[in-house]
Amino acid sequence: MLLTMSGLGTGQQPVTITYWQYFFQSKVTLVDELIKQFEAQNPGIHVVHENFPYDAYNQKVASAVPAGQGPDVINLFYGWVPLYVDGGYLQPLPVEAFSPMEIERDFVPMVKNSKFDGKYWALPTAVRSLSLFYNADLLRAADIARPPITWDEFLTAAQRTTVRDAAGRTTTEGFGVSPAGQDHQMIREVLFRQWGVAPYSADGKRVTYATPQGAEALKWYTDLITQHNVGVIDFFPGGNGYRDAFIAGRAAMIVDGSFAIASVRAGAKAAWGVVPLPRRTLGGERSNFGSYWVHGITVHAQGPRREAAIKFLKFLVSEPVQRVWLQRVGELPASRKLVDDPQLAADPIYGPFIQGLAYARATFFVDETAQRQVLVDAVNEVVVNNKPPRQALDEAAAKEQKILDEFWKKHTGK
Amino acid sequence: MRDSKTAFVYAALGAGAVVVAFPFYWMLASALKPLTEIYDLRLIPAHPTLANFTEVLTRTRFPRWFGNSLIVAAITTASVAFFDSLVGYVLAKLQFPGRGVIFVMILATLMIPTEMLVIPWYVMSSAYGWINTYWGIMFPGLLSAFGVFLIRQFMSGVPDELLDAGRMDGVTEFGLYWRIALPQIRPALAALCIFTFLGNWNAFLWPTIVIQTANMRTLPVGIALFSGEAGSAWNLIMASSALAVLPVLGVFAVLQRQIIEGITLTGLRS
Amino acid sequence: MGLGTRRALWAYTFLLVPLLFFLTIRLAPAFSALYISLHEWNIISPSKPFVGLQNFRLLAHDPSFGRAAVNTLRYVLVGIPAQIALGLVLALALQRINRFRGLFRALYFMPFVTPIVAAAWVWQWMYSQNFGPLNGLLAELRLPLQPFLRSPAQSLYAVTAMTVWQFLGFQVVIFLAGLEAIPRVYYEAAAVDGASGWRLFRHMTVPLLNPTLVFSAVYGTIVYLQLFTQVLNMTFGDQGGPLASTLTMVLYVYQLGFQRFKMGEAAAATAVLFAVILVITLLQMRVLSKPVEY
């Protein structure tokens, strides 16, 4: 390949590459502007920006593959990457442009999750972690002096802010439970770990949470619903009902990701704040779940388009872009340096999320849909069918192990 | 009112209508609530506002989505009305070898969920350059087995004597369908048009897959943009859904008289 | 050329374009789906080895598949009779009245035109244990509150109620068209014979409505056996309802094929579903269809 990296001169056809992401107004507007900037800096490259409804994004991308359609640079949820890598849809990031050493030096530790078979396959502009959102007005009204630091304080706060009507129906829940929302991530990477068990083996191939400690962690969570009655599943309808309830002032606390900040800000009438996720004891282990959306280069990008795609990707994950992303979209930057910015750490809303990033782990998903369902079902078995938590957990572990085994059996490694 | 039985019917219909139309009312009421009140569950908005409608109409590409949907739905409905009624007529009124097999074959196409066909359609569209075009959005819906089945059932009720009489008058084979049989089943045809229009109007999966650019989006695809990772803007979804209903109600209003005040069997429509 | 041959030729001429359409757009892709069911077909993977009946075996061992199958049959057995009965009663009532006809028809048609996203949201609120009017009414009457969508035992029926509600408008329109197709002369003749009320209904209206009833039962069954959008929207957070209690075959296929990318197994499930629908439909047509005698 004799193509030079220094752009194509005037008088030649511009190279056109396509970029896909899911629709989110602030992201779409920002990327349109960023593309203009990029094209100004790179006169030989033209970038076409296409975006699709979030709910059908994975289906859209997947359908494009057998049709031989698709973009050159693509935005994917990090949890989908192993599937796409195994399907041969992504190209590994070339080491010359994206050296693993530099990646590990510049990006937050979580990003190591996109290393697969010793190569990096995609990189993020922004990352997220979980925190505890709390309704300051409700806490104050319940005489809670400050937001909880430990899970015991959390339980007390939840109990005191739960309100029931004359017929015994909960009208305000202390904690917006949502197993299918962020709670299953919280159970996996926060509760299990804090109760003393790692959810998976280091190589990600074995499920290790089916232990007495794991069962205790699960029981603690389900007790919130069945024993203490501080949370109701599907309190508000819809997949994001827990957040809707918080925004409506009907849930005193929720565990949610930093991507929710804009929504909460736009809709909440009451005073609200954010604190880091609680832990078991004051000095106890801290843990968090992090996730991120990555940009990767697909197999469609060949020849001059590949060079252009590499440039565009480098641009997308560069520090200036991350900075403006934080301002305009409100998502945490993926760069260590930016994340360590003391101003950011001191921000009342972003601070707790930044803190969480330091010890956040991103679960290595081989089949996010199925793995999520396993834990959601386990919670439902305990809550609805009164199954003993240990039994539900054992069954969940068996199901999840099957999913992992199936993936690793086929994955021969490249 | 003639007798107490009729009065009872009116009362029951009224009560039933309230129950049945309630969710629709709630949708409208929610559309008039500002975002901060969308969950307050009041039957009558505390601070009704048209802000959601203005936002949908002026700050999104709603008019464009609406126009695209209108084009696709109108053309598809016309195509289905013609082809399905023709096929239904042939299957019901003409004798020829293979008639039963063909009917079952067409019926069988109803038994495969669209979800499974979407990928072959996409591969086909990619090969022929139909992606992101009106044709690409429309082609799977231009004929429907549902229509063929419906029309065939109603055509079988058209007396053969009428057709025989037409034949003796020298009417062509096509004329027998177009001028004699078709007017007899106007109610069914009107019903078919309503349902085809509606089905097309609300189609989501295939349009999402075949549409690439913002300006080709149809209504359901556009409305889906109000949902995202950080939840759904229910106030905008309700407002846009309310607006999206208008054309369908319009089609229904126009066609429902055809269904009800249909014609009697005496005489031919000119 | 004989009359019959000429008619047959005309028939085939008229059918040419439509048949071409159905073959290329509906049947050919369906056959490719059958082909896919015999391969290990991951949407995004280039390697798709032939695996014979392995996908079918995997389905047989997947408890969710069995669950989806049983649920789907339940939806049909509960939903279709309810829909047809309610639709017919309503259509007869609507035919009977003289005033406000347009208004009533429009009101009863509303559910069918309400976008599913909006309708499902409203219905979920109605079923809500803590906020919904249904449980509010139960509380007023001092009856035990019901979990509805949160209960694996009740959720399927809760979704069925919503689905019947939604299709009511469709069913009513079909029956109105069918009732309208009965020529008035027959009613006049029957009146002369002194027939009225229930006897009239049972011995004249119903038999003359046979094509419409057959259509409603057959088409309704085909639709309910492929129920998908309603279930998806009513259980968006935990798709398929708590512990797969509302899961349908098509939702199962969708999750398997489009979320987990296992198209081979999804195609196998589609093949099974198709076979079931075909058999049920043919049986229904044979048993229900009666030639109309005038």
Distance CA C18, CA B38 (A): 48
Contacts of A51 in chain B (CB under 8 A): 214
A388 to chain B nearest CA, in Å?
Answer: 33
The residue behind tokens 């995997």 is C58
Query: Do both A271 and A198 map to the same domain?
Result: yes
Contact A400, A104 (CB under 8 A): no
Contact A78, A113 (CB under 8 A): yes
Closest partner CB to C281 (pick from B16, B107, B188): B107
Closest partner CB to B227 (pick from A52, A54, A260): A54
Q: What are the residue boundaries of the structural domains of chain C, listed by start? A: 62-288
Do C238 and A376 count as a contact with CB atoms less than 8 A apart? yes
Is A1 within the bounds of a domain? no
Do B126 and A68 count as a contact with CB atoms less than 8 A apart? yes
Contact C148, C154 (CB under 8 A): yes
Given CB atoms, is C236 within the 8 Å cutoff of chain A?
yes
Return phi, psi of residue C254, to 5°.
-60, -45
Is A8 within the bounds of a domain? no
pLDDT of residue A9: 47
End-of-domain residue from the set A361, A382, A400: A361
Do C237 and A83 count as a contact with CB atoms less than 8 A apart? no
Write the class of the CATH domain C62-288: mainly alpha
Q: Is A93 helix (H, G, I), strand (E, B) or coil?
A: coil
Contacts of A66 in chain C (CB under 8 A): 43-44
Helices (H), chain C: 3-21, 28-37, 54-61, 63-96, 101-113, 116-127, 133-140, 155-180, 184-193, 197-200, 206-208, 210-225, 229-234, 249-254, 263-288
**Whole-number percent of chain B with pLDDT over 70:** 95
Query: Do both A319 and A214 map to the same domain?
Result: no
Q: Tell which residue, B236, B255, B249, B202, has the closest CA to residue B81.
A: B255
C153 to chain B nearest CA, in Å?
Answer: 24
Query: Do both A144 and A218 map to the same domain?
Result: yes
Do B231 and A64 count as a contact with CB atoms less than 8 A apart? no
Is A94 within the bounds of a domain? yes
Residue A169: closest C-alpha in chain C: C130
Do C29 and B116 count as a contact with CB atoms less than 8 A apart? yes
Query: Do both A122 and A140 map to the same domain?
Result: no
Distance CA A247, CA A264 (A): 6
Q: Tell which residue, A18, A29, A130, has the closest CA to residue A69.
A: A18
Q: Tell which residue, C287, C13, C245, C5, has the closest CA to residue C148.
A: C245
Query: Do both A277 and A405 map to the same domain?
Result: yes
Q: What is the pLDDT of residues B21-58, one digit of tens each?
A: 888 899 999 999 998 888 888 889 999 999 999 999 99
Contact C213, C287 (CB under 8 A): no
Most B CBs within 10 Å: which of A16, A20, A22, A23, as the mutation test of the B interface? A23
CA A299 from chain centre, in angstroms, equals 25
Contact A20, A61 (CB under 8 A): yes
Most C CBs within 10 Å: which of A169, A405, A414, as the mutation test of the C interface? A169
3-state DSSP of B58-127: HHCCHHHHHHHHHHHHHHHHHHHHHHHHHHHHHHHHCCCCCHHHHHHHHHHHHHCCHHHHHHHHHHHHHH
A290 to chain B nearest CA, in Å?
Answer: 15
Contacts of B230 in chain A (CB under 8 A): 24, 240, 243, 259-260, 262-263
Residue B230: closest C-alpha in chain A: A260
Given CB atoms, is A233 within the 8 Å cutoff of chain C?
yes
Contacts of B131 in chain A (CB under 8 A): 69
Across B71-75, average pLDDT: 97
What distances in angstroms separate CA C275 from CA C34, C268, C282, one per listed residue? 11, 11, 11
Query: Do both A263 and A165 map to the same domain?
Result: yes
Distance CA B149, CA B103 (A): 8
Closest partner CB to C238 (pick from A59, A180, A236): A180
State the amino acid at position C49 in one-letter form.
P
Given CB atoms, is C137 within the 8 Å cutoff of chain B?
no
CA angle A7, A13, A14 (to 5 degrees): 55
Closest partner CB to C150 (pick from A180, A234, A369): A234
How do A170-175 and A15-22 pair as beta strands? unpaired
Distance CA A236, CA A255 (A): 15
Query: Do both A336 and A304 map to the same domain?
Result: yes
E strand or H helix at A252: strand A251-257
Q: Tell which residue, A133, A129, A132, A34, has the closest CA to residue A78.
A: A129
Distance CA C70, CA C249 (A): 9
Distance CA A330, CA A320 (A): 14
Chains that touch B (3 or more CB pairs under 8 A): A, C
How many CB atoms are closer than 10 A to CB A96? 8
A74 to chain C nearest CA, in Å?
Answer: 14
E strand or H helix at A29: helix A25-41
Query: Do both A251 and A400 map to the same domain?
Result: yes
Chains that touch C (3 or more CB pairs under 8 A): A, B
Query: Do both A124 and A135 map to the same domain?
Result: no
Q: Is B243 helix (H, G, I), strand (E, B) or coil?
A: helix
Contacts of C139 in chain A (CB under 8 A): 167, 169
Distance CA C251, CA B205 (A): 13
Residue of A246 and B257 predicted with greater confidence = A246
Contact B23, B238 (CB under 8 A): no
Which 8-state DSSP code applies to residue A276?
A: P
Distance CA B215, CA B204 (A): 16
Residue B148: closest C-alpha in chain C: C18
Question: Interface pTM (ipTM) of the complex?
Answer: 0.90
Query: Do both A247 and A390 map to the same domain?
Result: yes
Q: Is A52 helix (H, G, I), strand (E, B) or coil?
A: strand
Show the domain range for A319. 13-128+290-361
Q: What is the band of B208 on the pLDDT scale with cuts at 50, 70, 90?
A: very high
Closest partner CB to C44 (pick from A87, A179, A233): A87
Most C CBs within 10 Å: which of B112, B223, B249, as the mutation test of the C interface? B112
Contact B209, A63 (CB under 8 A): yes
Chain A positions touching chain B (beta carbons under 8 Å): 22-24, 50-56, 59-60, 63-64, 66-69, 236, 238, 240, 243-245, 247-248, 250, 259-260, 262-263, 266-267, 269
State the amino acid at position B160 in one-letter form.
D
Is A6 within the bounds of a domain? no
C14 to chain A nearest CA, in Å?
Answer: 33
Most C CBs within 10 Å: which of B30, B87, B101, B153, as the mutation test of the C interface? B153
Long-range own/partner contacts, residues C51-60 (CB < 8 A, 24 or more apart): C51/C264, C55/C264, C55/C265, C55/C267, C55/C268, C56/C268, C56/C272, C58/C265, C58/C268, C59/C265, C59/C268, C59/C269, C59/C272
Block mean pLDDT (10 aa), chain A, length 414: 46 86 94 97 95 93 88 95 88 94 94 90 96 97 95 97 91 96 96 96 94 97 96 93 95 96 91 96 92 95 95 96 93 93 93 93 92 96 96 97 92 60
Per-residue confidence of chain C (294 residues) as pLDDT tens digits? 677 888 889 999 999 999 999 999 999 999 998 999 999 988 888 888 999 999 999 999 999 999 999 999 999 999 999 999 999 999 999 888 888 888 888 899 889 988 898 899 999 999 999 999 899 999 999 999 999 999 999 999 999 999 999 999 999 989 988 888 787 777 777 777 776 777 777 777 888 888 899 999 999 999 999 999 999 999 988 999 899 999 999 999 999 999 888 999 999 999 999 999 999 999 998 888 766 544
What is chain B's Cα-based Rg?
23
Q: Pull the structure tokens for residue B12.
A: 């029951």
Distance CA A302, CA A293 (A): 23
Closest partner CB to A67 (pick from B122, B208, B230): B122
Given CB atoms, is C278 within the 8 Å cutoff of chain B?
yes
Query: Do both A386 and A253 map to the same domain?
Result: yes
Residue B128: closest C-alpha in chain A: A67
Query: Do both A255 and A386 map to the same domain?
Result: yes
Long-range own/partner contacts, residues C150-153 (CB < 8 A, 24 or more apart): C150/A233, C150/A234, C150/A384, C150/C242, C151/A384, C151/C242, C151/C245, C152/A384, C152/A385, C152/C241, C152/C242, C152/C243, C152/C245, C153/C245
CB pairs under 8 A between A and C: 86
pLDDT of residue A378: 97
Is A306 within the bounds of a domain? yes
Given CB atoms, is A232 within the 8 Å cutoff of chain C?
yes
Distance CA C205, CA A60 (A): 49
State the amino acid at position C283 in one-letter form.
L
Per the structure, the count of domains in chain A is 2
A284 to chain C nearest CA, in Å?
Answer: 32
Q: Which residues contact A350 (CB under 8 A, 6 or more apart)?
A: A258, A261, A332, A344
Is A2 within the bounds of a domain? no
Stated length of chain C: 294
CATH of the domain at A246: 3.40.190.10
pLDDT of residue C64: 95
Q: Is A48 helix (H, G, I), strand (E, B) or coil?
A: strand
Distance CA A391, CA A170 (A): 29
Residue C126: closest C-alpha in chain A: A237
Distance CA C95, CA C159 (A): 29
Distance CA C135, CA C241 (A): 19
C50 to chain A nearest CA, in Å?
Answer: 15
Q: Which of residues 200-259 of B touch C (CB under 8 A)?
A: 202, 220, 223, 234, 237-238, 241-242, 244-245, 248-249, 252-253, 256, 259
Residue C116: closest C-alpha in chain B: B202
Contact B143, B199 (CB under 8 A): no
Distance CA A18, CA B237 (A): 29
Contacts of C104 in chain B (CB under 8 A): 13, 17
Helices (H), chain B: 4-31, 51-59, 62-93, 99-108, 114-128, 134-138, 145-155, 160-168, 173-175, 182-184, 186-201, 205-210, 219-224, 234-260
pLDDT of residue C147: 93
Sign of the dihedral defined by the CA atoms of residues B17, B23, B28, B34, in that order: positive
State the amino acid at position B243 in one-letter form.
L
